[in-house]
Structure formats: structure tokens, C-alpha cells
Structure 1
Amino acid sequence: MSKVRLEALKEALIEQNQKKAKDLTEEFLRAGVQPKDIIEVISDGLKLVGDLFERGELFLPEVMRSANAAKASLSVVLPMMVKEKAREGRGVIAIGSLGPHDIGKTIVSSTLIADGFRVLDMGINVTPGVVEDFLRNNEVDILALSILLTSDIDKCANVIERARKVRGGIKVMVGGAAMSPETARKIKADAYGRDANEAVKIARELTGRR
């Protein structure tokens, strides 16, 4: 499979074309492309979408449609990754975005699943109450939070504080446009991940499964 052909999947995400994204993913798998390589293409495509959004070349409704196209592709490829990795049982991660879109969350989720973690999605615009209820009803090793807006930093600190009241030993990792290592320390997160690959490394360390 040529690199040029794989690039067509990125284009499908930017074009917000769910059917094209899903059809291409199925085509790639039939051609023998490895699931992890397809996930890498999806992640790269979503990063491009995020860049276009930050530059004002895409707007939030378009970003959401791109995310849905990525999810259509992931719905085909992730079950194969889960089958390959299920025996490793790395741990359970609850992931949520405090902001209005889930581009970053989708990238990180797919990469964590590809590495063998079980990921429970709390959605977007999560609140302290949502997280508390979720943790009461699910056994979770790590809470992963995406913070897109600086105005949500205080809310994130509140989420972390209340999460630890529900599960005292839970580990928290954070990322997103509004985060930095310094801010992560300030809000008492256990770790900050700059990107999806770093999030996987951190998750392995936090669960003691390197």
C-alpha cells in the first residue's frame, strides 16, 4: 500500500466524509495494512484538523464532523487491535474532555486502546459531578482529562480534587491546549502528556506495566 494511498484517509477526515473514511479503512485492512499503521494515519489526520481549527480555517461543527469520520474509521480498526492486545490487560482508563470537542481525546483514546488499555469514554464537556458518578460506577486505574481552554483549568482542578474523594488512589493524567507541565503540577495532576505517544508512556508508568 503506497503512502499516497494512505494519505487519502487523512483527506477523508479533513473532508468530514464518514463513508469514505470507513470504506478506505476496510480497503486498507483487506490489503494487509497493519491496524496500528492505520491508527497512526488517523491520529495524524486529526492533528491536521486540530491545526486547521486553531488557525480558524475550520469551525467547531466541521471539527465535530471530522471527529465523527475518524470514529467511523476507528469502529472498523479498533476491534482488531482489541483482539490483538486484550491478553495484555494493561489497565482501565476513564477519559474525558472538559471542552466542546473531542479531537485530542479521540487521538489519545485510539492510541491507548492500540497499546492494550481498556478505555472508558466519558464524553465532552465533562463536569465534576459527571466524573464523580462515573468513578463510583466503574473500576478505573487512571483518569485522563483533556483541557482545551484556559478558562477550564480551575474546573479541572475541582474535577481532580473530587475524583480523589471518590477514589483516593486514582492516578490522573492531563493534556490539551491549555495544559503545561507547570499547570499540571499546580492542579495536582500526577502527570502531563504532550501528545498521544507520551500519554501511552505515562499510562504504562502509572499502572506499573512498562
Structure 2
Amino acid sequence: MEKEKMTELARALMDLNEQKVYQLVEEKAKNGVSPLEILAECNEGMSGVGDLFSSGQYFLSQMLFAAEIFKNVMNRLEDIMPREESTASRGKVVIGTVKGDIHDIGKNIVVNLLRGSGFEVVDLGVDVPAEKFVAALKETGAKVLGMSALLNFTYPEMKTVVEEVTKAGLRDQVTIIIGGAPCNEQVRQFTGADYYAEDAVAGVNICKKVYS
């Protein structure tokens, strides 16, 4: 997205203007802006950071700094994140960043939104091998598996996970969703996943659809 079309908060995060990010988040929260809207703007800024990193304008240290700012924003908003009242779990979701990738920004957004929507989430963390995904599905009986990747060279690992889920005899029982910078319809077809989520909200909506 072009920088001039971004919101002020998204631009501040993209520019790594830490204090301005916190200031804008506080102002928005006090003015009653939904935490989900604030996260959406931050997500837009992180996408911009990812683009700058991919083009070589930002280095890993800047990427990590942006992630730290975003993490602090998440912590600030966690207490006011809306939670759907429910006496029981809406459903179980197993999620993780695939083997070879240690990025968890996008995954953590999805995890928070899923939990806020009443789902029970089994977060396997980062650098997760295929066998760990399969084991978690067997243990939990989850109907949804979410996989995240940020690095382009790690998305083939998603295909490996899908293959292992199939070998375990679970494929027809599990809806597999992929997400992250390298993911698109072509990658979804390559991996054999059921869906790819363009952003965190899309991922949550797919989970709601599966458990509806």
C-alpha cells in the first residue's frame, strides 16, 4: 500500500516512530476506537515494514524493532479486547509458524483475535515441525489448523505439513488455513491447503465458518 494512503498510526509504525505509535494508540483507546480497528491499522503498518524489509530498505534490526513496538501495543490492548460471552469454547484451533521461520507477529494477532472470539487456541509457537502439528491435531481433535510463514523460502514447509496430516489420516477431518507474506492463491494450491487468509480478520472469519 502507498504510504500516503495509510492511516496516521500505520505510517507511524512503518516509520518506527515508537512514541507516536503509543500516543496514537492511547488517544484512540480513550476515544472509544475498537481494539480490533487499532490492531488493523497496526497490521497495515507492519505490512509496510515487511515491504521495506523485502526491498532491502529495512534490515532485520528494524524489522525486530517494529515487532517489539507492535508487541507492546498488543499488550496495551489485551485488557480491553472484546470477548464474546460464551459458556463453552466455540471450537479448537491449532496454530503455529512453520519450521524454518521464527516470525510470530501475524500469528500472534490471529491468536488474540481467535481467543477474543471465543475459540480455544493451541499455539505451538514458531519453527514448528510437521510432526508437532500432527501430534497437536491428534491430541486436541481440532477441526482447524492454521499455519503462518513470513519468509518466502519457508512456505514449501506448509506443503510438507499438509502431506503429513494426510498420511496421518486426518486430512478429511481438518480445515487447513495458511497465512503470511508469501501466501496467495497459487501458494494455497501448491501446499494443498483449504484456504489462505489475506489478513488476521479473514483467518478468524474462516474459523467461524468452519465451526458454524
TM-score normalized by the length of structure 2: 0.74
Indicate how the Cα distance of structure 1 residues 95 and 86 shifts in structure 2: closer, same or farther if over 3 A, else same. Answer: farther
User: Which is further off, 45-54 or 119-128?
Assistant: 119-128
Residue type of the partner of 1:172? I
**Mapping of 1:145-184 within 5 angstroms?**
145-164=147-166, 165=168, 167=170, 169-184=173-188
Please tell me whether the aligned partners of residues 10 and 44 of structure 2 are also in contact (alpha carbons under 8 angstroms). Answer: no
1:50-69 superposed Cα distances (whole Å, 9 cap, x missing partner): 22212222222321221222
* CA-CA distance at 1:111 after TM superposition: 4.4
For residues 36 and 141 of structure 1, the distance between their equivalents in structure 2, rounded to whole angstroms, comes to: 25
1:120-154 superposed Cα distances (whole Å, 9 cap, x missing partner): 33222221133234435545331111233453343
For residues 21 and 166 of structure 1, the distance between their equivalents in structure 2, rounded to whole angstroms, comes to: 47
* CA-CA distance at 1:13 after TM superposition: 6.2
In structure 2, the partner of 1:49 is 49
For residues 151 and 34 of structure 2, the distance between their equivalents in structure 1, rounded to whole angstroms, comes to: 35
SS of 2:81's equivalent in the other structure is helix
Please tell me whether the aligned partners of residues 81 and 113 of structure 1 are also in contact (alpha carbons under 8 angstroms). Answer: no
Indicate how the Cα distance of structure 1 residues 194 and 28 shifts in structure 2: closer, same or farther if over 3 A, else same. Answer: closer
Indicate how the Cα distance of structure 1 residues 93 and 68 shifts in structure 2: closer, same or farther if over 3 A, else same. Answer: farther
* CA-CA distance at 1:24 after TM superposition: 5.0
1:145-174 superposed Cα distances (whole Å, 9 cap, x missing partner): 123345334321221232352755222111
Counterpart pick for 1:130 among 127, 132, 140: 132
TM-score normalized by the length of structure 1: 0.75
Indicate how the Cα distance of structure 1 residues 94 and 22 shifts in structure 2: closer, same or farther if over 3 A, else same. Answer: farther
**Mapping of 1:93-108 within 5 angstroms?**
93-98=93-98, 99-108=101-110
What are the ranges of 5 or more consecutive residues in structure 2 without an aligned counterpart?
1-6
1:43-96 superposed Cα distances (whole Å, 9 cap, x missing partner): 2222222222122222223212212221211122234325x3242854332222
For residues 140 and 203 of structure 1, the distance between their equivalents in structure 2, rounded to whole angstroms, comes to: 11
What are the ranges of 5 or more consecutive residues in structure 1 without an aligned counterpart?
1-5
In structure 1, the partner of 2:84 is 85
Indicate how the Cα distance of structure 1 residues 26 and 162 shifts in structure 2: closer, same or farther if over 3 A, else same. Answer: same
For residues 207 and 29 of structure 2, the distance between their equivalents in structure 1, rounded to whole angstroms, comes to: 28
* CA-CA distance at 1:102 after TM superposition: 2.7
RMSD of Structure 2 on Structure 1 (CA): 3.1
For residues 22 and 45 of structure 2, the distance between their equivalents in structure 1, rounded to whole angstroms, comes to: 14
Question: Residue 61 in 1 paired to residue 61 in 2?
Answer: yes
In structure 2, the partner of 1:3 is none
Indicate how the Cα distance of structure 1 residues 147 and 125 shifts in structure 2: closer, same or farther if over 3 A, else same. Answer: same
The size of the alignment, in residue pairs, is 201
